[in-house]
Amino acid sequence: MKLTDDERAMLDGKQGPARQKAMDLLVRYGEALGAEDFVDTNNVCTSVGATTPFLRDFAAKAGGLDAAFSEFNLDSSEAVQIPKAKAFSCQLIQGLDPDHWQEQGVAPATRALHEVNESFSAGIGLQMMNTCTPYLVGNVPVKGEHCAWMESSAVAYCNSVLGGRTNTEGRESSSAAMLTGKIPNWGLHLDENRFGTHLVEVDAAVEDIMDWGLLGYYLGEAILDGLPVLVRRGKVPDLPRLKHFGAAAATSGGIEMYHIVGVTPEAPTLQEAFGGRKPRATLRYGRAERELAYRNLNAHATDTKVDFVMLGCPHSSLEQVWNAAKLLEGKRLHSGVNLWIFTPRSIREVADRNGYTKIITDAGARLMSDTCPALGQVMPKGVKVAATDSAKQTHYLPSIMGVQTWFGSTEDCVRAAITGRWEGALR
Ligand code: F3S
């Protein structure tokens, strides 16, 4: 790879051993990908810490979090001291909610380690957002901004809705970017890879977030790896709808970017969305495709007795928390059913001030932050049947947590939490 003087200096160790290892990792990574050079980035979303039992034990044996970071974030078996972040970098979702860890079934030792992690991560200059939706709480890349983000749902949102430029990075490459302010210039950083590959004619009703999740889930399965361009009629989808759409498409397939003609910033026209090229294929999303996606998502659930409902995957916007509070106001959850709603911590603070947290808590539900059931592997004890309005969470819960999971609208999910029964249907 062609290196600038600054990059060469880091690789030669002139800025210390950690940045040297980070640069070495990025050069190996870039060469494997066929990148010719780097782009500067001042916008990283990564994951630092050791709350899983494996990493926790490793950190304890190896002598602390510098050693764990060296091994698992920099691919270095030699422990080096980790300096301050060079690029503006945000912490993604973590393993627990420090305010609700006991209800989440987290062991006291893990909670204690979480605190050590938080102080290590904040100490190296990581912004402690602890969410998979950093774009909801202040990290909003502008069009054309080069980023190094992990988390597939956030990547899809960054590229498609904001026009930021990122590939789906891993823990190692994003951590190396944090220390160097560099990321290989390949994939979605380059203009030629941001044009559409598949034309999608949307003929079915796509209105609420359930519909957008169904459409995303269908397209991810049908396209797997490509860049869909949607042509549709109807209202302009808002932030929660696009958040659920991208998360679903990145779950059933590997979609990192999409265009919606007339809506997303790099698709003012069909012609521009495809960069003047011909689509590789044309797909139609009609009633049959919508029904198929719904059936596929609900294929693993048979028991209608629901004991856990989850909302907020990806983490809820303030509007979604407000909507949940409206649905729950004056109601009470069915005995034995838990309803957990996830949102970034700073949105939860607004929800506290607005009284939404109280409404939600008075109904017997909980507003949580910092983690989620599938990735944090936190759930109420003894759950057998879950329900959620997120295609992504529905996809992961059966395999990661071994529970049957129903997928439906937010209203269907809240109703299930109140009645204890799944009565959702495709309308
Ligand atoms: Fe976020 Fe967890 Fe969903 S990380 S996107 S809430 S699976």
The predicted-structure confidence for 162-176, as pLDDT tens digits, reads as follows: 999 999 999 999 999
Question: For residue 145, what are the β-bridge partners?
Answer: none
Per the CB < 8 A criterion, the answer to whether 410 and 420 are in contact is: no
Nearest CA to ligand 1 atom 2: 372
Share of the chain above pLDDT 70, in %: 99
The first and second tokens of residue 15, run together, are 């800025």
State which residues of the chain have pLDDT below 50.
none
Nearest CA to ligand 1 atom 1: 314
Whether 338 is in the pocket of ligand 1, judged by its Cβ within 6 Å, is no
Nearest CA to ligand 1 atom 3: 313
**Residue 53: predicted pLDDT:** 67
Q: In terms of Cα–Cα distance, which of 332, 367, 333 is closest to 103? A: 367
Q: What's the chain's length in residues? A: 427
CA–CA gap between residue 157 and residue 166 (Å, rounded): 10
Question: For residue 148, what are the β-bridge partners?
Answer: 44
Tell me the CA–centroid distance for residue 344 and ligand 1, in Å. Answer: 11
Whether 50 is in the pocket of ligand 1, judged by its Cβ within 6 Å, is no
Tell me the CA–centroid distance for residue 13 and ligand 1, in Å. Answer: 37
Torsion-angle region of 163 (φ positive above 0: left; ψ -120 to 50: alpha; else: beta)? left
Residue to mutate (ligand 1; options 130, 132, 341, 396; most atoms within 8 A of CB): 132
**Residue 144: predicted pLDDT:** 98
CA gyration radius for the chain? 22
Whether 374 is in the pocket of ligand 1, judged by its Cβ within 6 Å, is yes
Whether 314 is in the pocket of ligand 1, judged by its Cβ within 6 Å, is yes
Whether 313 is in the pocket of ligand 1, judged by its Cβ within 6 Å, is yes
Tell me the CA–centroid distance for residue 342 and ligand 1, in Å. Answer: 9
Per-residue pLDDT reduced to its tens digit, 8-21: 999 999 999 999 99
**Residue 61: predicted pLDDT:** 83
Find tokens 């599938």 and name the residue. 374
